[in-house]
A and B are shown apart, each in its own frame.
Chain A
């Protein structure tokens, strides 16, 4: 195996939490509010179904091929050529996922805090740190996550408490006045985030306690879902109808905090923690991309790929989609479709084929396909 490090199932869960939540807290409130309005808090619950499905698929596939990642076993399932094709699709998908995350990070940093700093500097410095972590391997990422996630949760909890005096829960009424349909529409976008749980397919082979992979995967989905629901409720209770017209409702909510005239302007603290979360997110996806590429090319080490792929990421990031409006369109309409096809449907098909083939071989009618 290329990766020699080992992580525990709980470390995997802790790594996955910021991988999903870090960008979701920025984009999910606005996206769900636009489509679901007052029912925005129901949407993540509906969307989390794909999360459970993705974890289930990844774990089932993992049990069939315990030492391999999705790039490798797709070759075993559908044959070499088609398998390589699927692997390539995954690599392209993770490439676009990784640069869109990187770009989202850059957009927020440049848009809200550093308007005159070139995007290249913001992205490049982030990527450099991630590259160092990725070279360290899955263990380093796991440890880093273990260090940052408790801080992340602590700050998040503190923020929620500090917003309390300004919350107006009546903003959420009437619940489901136009039926469940708006909530379903609102769930379309978070699907993409929950679909990202397929990433655990790249971590499951390195677990020390494999049997707990499913448990921790599911726990993480629940934690993620709850976080999104709480954030959506917080911004809904605070902003009500104007939520949809704010670019980053959660950041605005944090900026709105003012306790006893001196505990205010604390968004820099939140941003520091948020950057740490994004670091984990970009690191994990970057790692998956590098490891996947090495496996796809049958290399013996993934480390030489880290910097070249990093360059590629920064370049792809800088070059398409010149403004935030287009990025938003992409995230709203294109990304969910691609996401659900590649993150959920494709693994589902793979699992089906694998199960059928297994039954066929076990039944004695060993039909070998090309």
Chain B
């Protein structure tokens, strides 16, 4: 908006003027034309008033705005390096995109995203420096992914989270990851399938094979009584055939465990499933079991799962029971078992139950005993059921937690055998009856 006079003052006088004319026109009925004229004036005024109200001083044209799809934060010596993944608007035509940076867009095709980085002492400082390098105004409203570099995560993330939780454009539904290595490297990946590596990361998180944590949940965990947090860990997957960066993809692999706001360790993919069971966040999983009675393996796919943490305090010992119910389907049968035989199914259910419990115990061993970080929500569960005892013991939780006795009580139902009964690729006489 160019005119910086006081539009309001003009407006006020204008309105009074119009109403005066209208009143006079109404009073003196021999001037009907005047009333008509004032109506026209009003209409004209209303139409023109639309022009300056398109956002006042904060008006932003789409071609002056730079859309950030993801942000990565790394440690660089004793400073912060912030990298943003920028969406290149294709509609503006490929030829004009000469500013492409880290992504390295060569030749005729323009990469859908590129990465720009800057260093500073805080995020705000780094972002200010970043803005200096970029011709367009950075817009954070479309940002969907935040990645912390591993090194930075080990030093603590609280102060950096603050900027993103405070910025009016950023959203609490921001998917948060911890990268293996540098966060900027993940942003630079140009996956063949999705628009950007951020988009693939987000889709992967949503598929819920691993953890799926948004900014809101991260803040809740950081603020929570347990004093621990867990974030999904993301890493690059180099192309299998050996190629360029644009055939690289990303994948979620395991969980980064935080105590307070500092990363203390890493749990691999298999144990992550145990963590998911404990947090009641498991949605999809494929379990392969080896029945002891026969050769070969059976794979089950999880359809529905529900878990519940039941806390218990008995004579001063804190106990926790995990009640888990899983409903599975058979997806592969590499044994000679007949999947329509109830006793076979019963046996499989028992095996699957054992597998599930085992997985949870392994995760517990590593996280509860090893890292001593309560990322399972035990603190909350105890607080809810035993508010009084909790209030007394809350300050000692760090000592209590590793000694909480956990029992896992799982039930697995196998509902359907898929569309074949016994393995259709197996000669009839080899099927075990």
> Do A and B make up one complex?
yes
A residues lining the B interface (CB < 8 Å): 111-118, 120-122, 124-125, 128, 132, 135, 170, 173-174, 177, 238-242, 245, 252, 255-256, 258, 264-265, 307
Of the candidate stretches B215-223, B262-270, B283-291, B395-403, the one touching chain A is: B215-223
With a CB–CB cut-off of 8 A, which chain B residues contact A239?
216, 220
Complexed CA–CA distance, A174 and B380 (Å): 10
Contact call B16/A307, Cβ cutoff below 8 A: yes
15 interchain pairs, CB-CB under 8 A = A111-B168, A113-B168, A117-B57, A122-B56, A125-B53, A128-B8, A128-B11, A170-B380, A174-B383, A174-B384, A177-B391, A240-B220, A242-B216, A245-B223, A255-B173
Contact call A114/B8, Cβ cutoff below 8 A: no
Contact call B172/A255, Cβ cutoff below 8 A: yes
Contact call A242/B384, Cβ cutoff below 8 A: no
Contact call A132/B56, Cβ cutoff below 8 A: no
Query: Shortest CB–CB separation between residue B390 and chain A, in angstroms?
Result: 9
Contact call A174/B56, Cβ cutoff below 8 A: no
With a CB–CB cut-off of 8 A, which chain B residues contact A256?
171-173, 216
Q: In this complex, what residue of A is CB-closest to B49?
A: A125
Is residue B89 within 8 Å, beta carbon to beta carbon, of the partner chain?
no
Contact call B8/A125, Cβ cutoff below 8 A: yes
Complexed CA–CA distance, A120 and B7 (Å): 11
Contact call A177/B224, Cβ cutoff below 8 A: no
Contact call B223/A242, Cβ cutoff below 8 A: yes
- Tell me the B190-211 residues at the A interface (CB within 8 Å): none
With a CB–CB cut-off of 8 A, which chain A residues contact B58?
113-117
Is residue B15 within 8 Å, beta carbon to beta carbon, of the partner chain?
yes
Q: In this complex, what residue of A is CB-closest to B377?
A: A170
Q: Contacts A116-B57, A256-B173, A265-B141; is A124 near B216 (CB within 8 Å)? A: no
Contact call A114/B56, Cβ cutoff below 8 A: yes
- Chain B interface residue bracket vs A: 20 to 34
> Contact mask B171-182 → A, CB, 8 Å, 1/0?
111000000000
Complexed CA–CA distance, A252 and B164 (Å): 13
Complexed CA–CA distance, A265 and B173 (Å): 11
Q: Contacts A128-B11, A132-B15, A241-B223; is A258 near B56 (CB within 8 Å)? A: no
With a CB–CB cut-off of 8 A, which chain A residues contact B216?
238-239, 242, 256
Is residue B55 within 8 Å, beta carbon to beta carbon, of the partner chain?
yes
Q: In this complex, what residue of B is CB-closest to A177?
A: B387
Is residue B12 within 8 Å, beta carbon to beta carbon, of the partner chain?
yes
Q: Contacts A241-B223, A255-B172, A307-B12; is A118 near B57 (CB within 8 Å)? A: yes
Complexed CA–CA distance, A307 and B380 (Å): 56
- Tell me the B129-171 residues at the A interface (CB within 8 Å): 141, 168, 171
Q: Contacts A121-B56, A256-B173; is A112 near B220 (CB within 8 Å)? A: no
With a CB–CB cut-off of 8 A, which chain A residues contact B57?
114, 116-118, 121
Contact call A121/B220, Cβ cutoff below 8 A: no
Q: A242-B223, A307-B16 are in contact. List 5 more A-B contacts (CB 8 A).
A: A114-B56, A170-B384, A173-B384, A174-B387, A245-B223
Complexed CA–CA distance, A201 and B7 (Å): 36
Complexed CA–CA distance, A238 and B172 (Å): 11
With a CB–CB cut-off of 8 A, which chain B residues contact A117?
55-58
With a CB–CB cut-off of 8 A, which chain A residues contact B7?
121
Q: Contacts A173-B384, A307-B16; is A255 near B171 (CB within 8 Å)? A: yes
Contact call B383/A242, Cβ cutoff below 8 A: no
The 3 closest A-B pairs by CB, nearest first: A177-B387, A124-B8, A117-B57
With a CB–CB cut-off of 8 A, which chain A residues contact B168?
111-113, 115
With a CB–CB cut-off of 8 A, which chain B residues contact A265?
141
With a CB–CB cut-off of 8 A, which chain B residues contact A135?
19
Contact call B219/A242, Cβ cutoff below 8 A: yes
Complexed CA–CA distance, A111 and B223 (Å): 25
Q: Contacts A256-B216, A265-B141; is A114 near B55 (CB within 8 Å)? A: yes
Q: In this complex, what residue of A is CB-closest to B166?
A: A247
With a CB–CB cut-off of 8 A, which chain B residues contact A241?
220, 223-224
Complexed CA–CA distance, A128 and B7 (Å): 12
Complexed CA–CA distance, A196 and B91 (Å): 53
With a CB–CB cut-off of 8 A, which chain B residues contact A114?
55-58
- Tell me the B1-46 residues at the A interface (CB within 8 Å): 7-8, 11-12, 15-16, 19
With a CB–CB cut-off of 8 A, which chain B residues contact A113?
58, 168
Q: In this complex, what residue of B is CB-closest to A110?
A: B58
Q: Which of A117, A242, A256 has the most CB of B within 10 A?
A: A242
Contact call A128/B220, Cβ cutoff below 8 A: no
Query: Shortest CB–CB separation between residue B370 and chain A, in angstroms?
Result: 27
With a CB–CB cut-off of 8 A, which chain A residues contact B223?
241-242, 245
Q: In this complex, what residue of A is CB-closest to B142?
A: A265
Query: Shortest CB–CB separation between residue B112 and chain A, in angstroms?
Result: 18
With a CB–CB cut-off of 8 A, which chain B residues contact A242?
216, 219-220, 223
With a CB–CB cut-off of 8 A, which chain A residues contact B220?
239-242
Q: In this complex, what residue of B is CB-closest to A251?
A: B168
Complexed CA–CA distance, A174 and B390 (Å): 11
Complexed CA–CA distance, A264 and B171 (Å): 11
Complexed CA–CA distance, A73 and B15 (Å): 35
Contact call A128/B12, Cβ cutoff below 8 A: yes
With a CB–CB cut-off of 8 A, which chain B residues contact A238?
216
Q: In this complex, what residue of B is CB-closest to A122?
A: B56
With a CB–CB cut-off of 8 A, which chain B residues contact A120?
8
With a CB–CB cut-off of 8 A, which chain B residues contact A174?
383-385, 387
Query: Shortest CB–CB separation between residue B234 and chain A, in angstroms?
Result: 20
Query: Shortest CB–CB separation between residue A110 and chain B, in angstroms?
Result: 9
Query: Shortest CB–CB separation between residue A294 and chain B, in angstroms?
Result: 18
With a CB–CB cut-off of 8 A, which chain B residues contact A240?
220
Query: Shortest CB–CB separation between residue A164 and chain B, in angstroms?
Result: 15
Q: In this complex, what residue of B is CB-closest to A310?
A: B12
With a CB–CB cut-off of 8 A, which chain B residues contact A111?
168
Q: Which of B8, B16, B391 has the most CB of A within 10 A?
A: B8
Complexed CA–CA distance, A116 and B137 (Å): 14
Query: Shortest CB–CB separation between residue B218 and chain A, in angstroms?
Result: 10
Complexed CA–CA distance, A240 and B384 (Å): 13
Query: Shortest CB–CB separation between residue B299 and chain A, in angstroms?
Result: 30
Complexed CA–CA distance, A258 and B57 (Å): 29
Q: In this complex, what residue of A is CB-closest to B202?
A: A261
Complexed CA–CA distance, A128 and B391 (Å): 54
Complexed CA–CA distance, A173 and B380 (Å): 9
Query: Shortest CB–CB separation between residue A328 and chain B, in angstroms?
Result: 15
With a CB–CB cut-off of 8 A, which chain B residues contact A122?
56
Query: Shortest CB–CB separation between residue B279 and chain A, in angstroms?
Result: 12
Q: In this complex, what residue of B is CB-closest to A111?
A: B168
Complexed CA–CA distance, A307 and B19 (Å): 13
With a CB–CB cut-off of 8 A, which chain B residues contact A125?
8, 53
Complexed CA–CA distance, A240 and B380 (Å): 11
